[in-house]
Amino acid sequence: MITRILTLHLLLFSTISTALDAQVKTTVLTGTEKLHMYRSHEKMRDSSSFSALHWQFIGPSNISGRCTDVEGVVPRGKSYTIWVATASSGVWKSVNEGVTFNPVFEHQGTSTIGDLAIAPSDPDVVWVGTGEANIYRSSNPGCGIWKTTDGGISWEHKGLEETFTISRILVHPENPDIVYVASSGHEWTQNRERGLYKTINGGESWEKILFKGPESGVIDLVMDPRNPDIIYATTWQRTRLKWNDPRTFENHQNNGIWRTLDGGAHWKHLSTGLPPSKYMGRTGIDIARSDPDVVYAFVDDYQVAFKAEKGEKDAYGRPKKDVIKGATLYRSDNAGTTWRQVSGLNDTTKKYMSGLSGTYGWVFGQVRVDPNDENRVYTLGIRINVSTDGGATFTPVKEKIHADQHGMWIDSGNSNYILAAHDGGISVSYDRGENWRNFVKELPLAQFYNVAYDMHEPFRVYGSIQDHHSFYSEVDLSPGRDRVQSTEWEYTLGAEGSTHAVDPGDNNTIFASLFYGKLARATVQGYPEDQEWILPETFPEDPPFRGQWVAPTILSSHNTDIVYHGVQFVLKSADRGGTWKRISPDLTYNDPVKQGDISYQTISALDESVFNPDLLYAGTDDGRLWRTKNGGDTWEDIRKDPLPVRWVSRIVASMHDFGTLYVTQTGRRDDDAAVYVWRSRDFGDSWEDISANIPAGPVNVIREDPKKDSILYLGTDVGVYVSKNAGESWEVLGDLPCTYVHDLAIHPRDNMIIIATHGRGMFVLDADPVNRAKETDQPE
């Protein structure tokens, strides 16, 4: 019944969203246009008059980030060479088995990697597919595939710009010019460039050899070691909605497993013994090298295993739905002709498997078979789980490594040696998973969502990190403003997705939004013992608070006892969170069709004027924009042409001029990389586009310089831009590699620019050369 209702909602959404988007003309950029944008950014970075300014990495040195794949090169009398594909940090390489890693793919204009593959016949030939296929809430699209023939010293783009995500690459064992590339397609919209591609000339041209429609991508591949023309492919039919995790629907007929015996000229659907397509979610596949007739399929199975108990909650505190079978292992002993379920065949193992991937099996879906033992199988979920009996029973690996597993490489000549890729970086085991060595400091890949600062001496910075927690650290300028050191960061109040606000009166009281709009208060020094949940419960007859993953929280600049917090309403407390008042109606479109597993139709941006405490602005994730001039008694809708219906990523009420405000929007959740930067000089009554010459979006944040009203800063999905002439033109600021800048702040006392990147940690840059240089020294 749930599936049928959601299918109807999906059809209704199509009609509603078309009507909404018709209000304003927008252009969804093609992959080719995106590639051109990214290349333009790289040229601007190299030619910028600010290119000599150096961004200083401040950490954390004790936290890494999400990796999507890892591959090793078997040593020839030396250490293993390790290649690492990351979700948002490019490609890294170690030639000394992890003692050190260096970035080798950081200036190509995109830093999201779906998969990499080393040519078996030549370890200097490596293919890199951009665009993470795990479709997290913070995943990003890429713009095609690259190739190196010199071990990563130089790269050449080889097409497939429109795929957006690349999930798997296979290289022919003897001919590195024959390559298969699987694309799972756009995350948020349908596209005909999904499917499986093949080149026989090193990427000079591609042929699409498997296609099952604009909603069905290829998510995994494996090649028979006996014959490289025999390939298995799994297809996954999905389009993610802004309010629901990916799922299967009654009308999904293109999920499944396919086999070719002739290098992709012909394909056969292998379905005997597998669930119907409407229940098959993401599916991983692997082959037993010791007996290639044995093939395993790891299916995110949507058949119901257990009914939810009334009142049960999931990991995020939401009402729990019926529990699906989830992680289910199938095995074929005849090269895929027939399959049989081998996991979860009794109540104990069924319960174990249903929790193996949590509520988000669509993130994982990968399986590895020990190349020397057909019955030793590893499944990648929240943890690595291993079976020694062909999948009948599983146990987690003994020593804990970071959660959320996305990739694994096993040395075929020594299957004790395993490399694992996960949300905390990568790890290596020398004893088949009994013990692990974790690479953290060696791979500084922390994925920050935001940054806040305080006025402590020295000042401290705060941020929340994907799949870790919230952390803080001091920024010590005493060795010199150009010699700031990276540090190990400490836990503070918050979650992996949080906004932080520190009371400047005591520099110790911290407010933090937690999952989906919850709000807490603590002291920096006393957390976690003194943490308090401070939002009131809603009455049964009232709608529950609906908050974004990173919900906005601000302290009033006029009175820091006043706290504002955004859910679907603007909430206000005048006593530091002791009591609360709702000061707005629901500011979203509040469409019941668009309410599902994920909080959507929420307030995503919020700001207060420093000139008048009654002037507030709010923006929503479904594209609405509001103003109140009387402290919330009445609200006016100020989204109008030329602003499109797009997620409002930031609102800044000017600190220099009463009537000026700035708004940025992001089209990432519409597969739209256009640049949306707006200014109003009349409180939002009219708008002007100040994106000027910025080539690459989406745009995540805009900030004013606290010292000069003509200076503006932007954080985008490729770096930082600065304007010295109030938005008439922009330059790339500093020497950053291509990276996702999710937040930016300028410390008003110490004049340091702070950025939170989603993939490279946090950086600072001395702002003195930007806002304190003589006018004659300013770049035009």
Q: What residue has token string 């030939």? A: 125
- Residue 37 pLDDT grade (very low, low, confident, very high; cuts 50, 70, 90): confident
Is 2's pLDDT higher than 80?
no
- Predicted local confidence at residue 681, as pLDDT: 98
- Predicted local confidence at residue 310, as pLDDT: 79
CB 408 within 8 A of CB 70: yes
Is 434's pLDDT higher than 50?
yes
Q: Rounded mean pLDDT of 628-642?
A: 98
Residue 47 CB burial class (10 angstroms; 0-12, 13-18, ≥19): exposed
Beta-strand ranges (E) seen in 394-435 are 395-396, 405-410, 418-422, 425-429
Counting residues of the chain whose pLDDT is more than 70, the rounded percentage is 95
Q: Rounded mean pLDDT of 438-454?
A: 97
Is 1's pLDDT higher than 80?
no
Mean pLDDT of the chain: 93
CB 220 within 8 A of CB 233: yes
Reading the block at residue 344, the tokens are 């979860």
CB atoms within 10 A of CB 18: 9
CB 118 within 8 A of CB 83: yes
Residue 525 corresponds to which amino acid? Q
Cβ neighbors of 692 (< 8 A, separation 6 or more) are 723, 727, 728, 729, 730
- Predicted local confidence at residue 138, as pLDDT: 87
Counting residues of the chain whose pLDDT is more than 90, the rounded percentage is 87
The candidate with the shortest Cα–Cα distance to 174, out of 99, 126, 111, 119, is 119
Reading the block at residue 15, the tokens are 């009609």
Q: Rounded mean pLDDT of 641-666?
A: 98
- Predicted local confidence at residue 264, as pLDDT: 98
Is 50's pLDDT higher than 70?
yes
- Residue 685 pLDDT grade (very low, low, confident, very high; cuts 50, 70, 90): very high
Is 27's pLDDT higher than 70?
no
3-state secondary structure of 753: strand
Residue 698 corresponds to which amino acid? P
CB 190 within 8 A of CB 171: no
Q: Roughly how many angstroms between the first and final C-alpha of the chain, as a whole number?
A: 63
pLDDT digits (tens, 9 = 90+) for 230-287: 999 999 999 889 999 888 999 999 999 999 999 999 999 999 999 999 999 999 999 9
- Predicted local confidence at residue 26, as pLDDT: 47
Beta-strand ranges (E) seen in 528-637 are 532-533, 553-555, 563-566, 570-573, 581-582, 603-608, 616-620, 625-628, 636-637
Q: Rounded mean pLDDT of 56-78?
A: 95
CB 262 within 8 A of CB 304: no
- Predicted local confidence at residue 20, as pLDDT: 36
What letters, b where the CB count within 10 A reaches 16 and e where it falls short, cover 426-436? bbbbeebbeeb
Q: What residue has token string 């939170």? A: 756
What does the alpha-carbon distance between residue 502 and residue 509 come to, in Å, rounded to a whole number?
6
- Predicted local confidence at residue 30, as pLDDT: 79
Q: Rounded mean pLDDT of 146-150?
A: 98
pLDDT digits (tens, 9 = 90+) for 762-779: 999 999 999 986 544 444
pLDDT digits (tens, 9 = 90+) for 510-568: 999 988 999 999 999 899 999 999 999 999 999 999 999 999 999 999 999 999 999 99
CB 436 within 8 A of CB 384: no
- Residue 32 pLDDT grade (very low, low, confident, very high; cuts 50, 70, 90): confident
- Predicted local confidence at residue 657, as pLDDT: 98
What does the alpha-carbon distance between residue 510 and residue 524 come to, in Å, rounded to a whole number?
6
pLDDT digits (tens, 9 = 90+) for 572-599: 999 999 999 999 999 999 999 999 889 9
Number of helices (H) and strands (E), helices first, in the chain?
4, 56
The model's pTM: 0.93
- Predicted local confidence at residue 337, as pLDDT: 98
- Predicted local confidence at residue 16, as pLDDT: 32
Reading the block at residue 53, the tokens are 């300014």
Cβ neighbors of 14 (< 8 A, separation 6 or more) are none
Please tell me which residue, 706 or 7, carries the higher pLDDT value.
706
What does the alpha-carbon distance between residue 703 and residue 713 come to, in Å, rounded to a whole number?
5
What does the alpha-carbon distance between residue 33 and residue 41 come to, in Å, rounded to a whole number?
12
DSSP 696-724: ---EEEEEE-SS-TT-EEEEESS-EEEES
Q: Rounded mean pLDDT of 480-487?
A: 96
